[in-house]
Amino acid sequence: MSQNIRAEIRARFLKVDTSNVADVLDDMGLLHQGLAADFRSFSGTSGKLAGFAYTIRGQSTPYGMGGDAEKMTACQGISEDEISVWSGDGDGTCYFGELIALGLKERGCVGALADGGVRDIAWLNQHDFPVFARYRSPVQSIGRWKVNAWQVPVFIRGATSKHVEVAPGDFILADADGAIVIPAARIEAVLEKAEALTAGEINIRRELANGMTLSEALKVYGHV
């Protein structure tokens, strides 16, 4: 997929809601793509996150305070229209903060999803770098949590299942309703169906605003 097509797909996904995407995935038989309810927006003016997954995995382990060279190497590989997806077992620590985010942004990264913690939230907001995470923490990862792989399939806490697998190249969409994962092989099909569902909802809202009752609207447009 060319960079231009990836950019276009991301721009179109920003115009649909996670709820519509979730309904489309259900219709496709993909029933467990939603992420855990405690994922929420911590930064970014739009309150929305959309992009292709670039996965980073780590684990809790004691080590020296000189820094995490693997984390820095992992972050060098990210590119335009990608979201860094952070996974691991480091509860209580933050996986990254402002400086890592700025380095990611320089490479075209459009946000982050962390199955863990984030810090420097005020500064992330100032840089308009969107982050969805499970919690915030001032406690750094250095000496506590270390990156051990990147661009491999990872498991993120799920809404209706214990975990959701996220593979490199999958699509992440998150908004006020939560976060969801679209498998790479289904991205374009899901997008087209979600856009159609969105168009139907726009029509119903317009008709309701013009005085049509909900029951009348559902007879015309069906369930949405």
62-80: average pLDDT: 94
102 marked ligand binding residue: no
120 marked ligand binding residue: yes
Q: Which helix H or strand E contains 77, and what residues bound it?
A: none
What is the distance between the alpha carbons of residues 181 and 172, in angstroms, rounded to a whole number? 5
91-105: average pLDDT: 96
Q: Which CATH architecture has domain 3-184?
A: 3-Layer(bba) Sandwich (3.50)
| Tens of pLDDT, residues 150-161 | 999 999 999 999
| Tens of pLDDT, residues 6-26 | 999 999 999 999 999 999 999
Q: How many CA atoms lie within 13 A of 98 on its CB side?
A: 10
Q: Which pTM does this prediction carry?
A: 0.93
97 marked ligand binding residue: yes
Domain residue extents for the chain: 3-184
Give residue 32's pLDDT. Answer: 98
Residue 161 has φ and ψ, to the nearest 5°, of -140, 160
117 marked ligand binding residue: no
| Tens of pLDDT, residues 122-170 | 999 999 999 999 999 999 999 999 999 999 999 999 999 999 999 999 9
pLDDT, averaged across the chain: 95
